[in-house]
Amino acid sequence: MSNKPKDHLPINITEKIKERFFSFIEKTDTCWKWKGAINPSGHGVIKIEGRNRTAHRVSFAIHNENIPENLFILHKCHNASCVNPDHLYAGTHENNMQDEVERKNTRHYKCANPTKYVGVRWCSTRKNWISSVYINKKNIDIGRHASEVDAARNHDRILYMKYGIKDRLNFPEEYNLKD
């Protein structure tokens, strides 16, 4: 199965499309909020040539003339309904997934009790902390813990000892890492 978005077809931007696109925007000091249709993931949608296109991809195409082939258009501001071209950049599927994990914005990380530690989340069902690592595009649960700090330390231990990854540790000082 391809990681290519459904609306990855080239977008032929005409003056009429630009006029229609800008009629759906509410500009603020930061984000440009999409006021048209919104899909279930919160992204704006506009119909062009009979196909629904995500508004942030259309915005990128309008302001950059083209979208690099096989790349996603990602948000620096993490606001799905934003179409401000200064907040958009082209990236790979892997960039998008890593960004989601780092922001704890996947279905695996949504929780009522967020944490400051990477690779740690609260399980409201069992009332404990879960440690996990993100390796090879997969999130792997590695243990349940009574405390948030124990979960973070377990995350670090597995990430460093098993996978040799040093740059995503919560407590790098515990491993005497030299730059």
pLDDT at position 63: 92
Mean pLDDT of the chain: 83
Residue ranges of alpha helices (H) inside the chain are 15-22, 55-64, 93-102, 148-157
What residue segments make up the domains of the chain, in order of their start? Answer: 15-91, 104-175
Closest CA to 104 of 119, 93, 123: 119
Q: Is the pLDDT of residue 109 over 80?
A: no
Q: Is the pLDDT of residue 1 over 50?
A: no
pLDDT at position 125: 74
The region of weakest confidence among 36-45, 53-62, 97-106 is 97-106
| Overall average pLDDT of the 98-120 stretch | 67
Q: Which fold has domain 104-175?
A: GCC-box Binding Domain (3.30.730)
> What is the distance in angstroms between the CA of the first residue and the CA of the last residue of the chain?
40
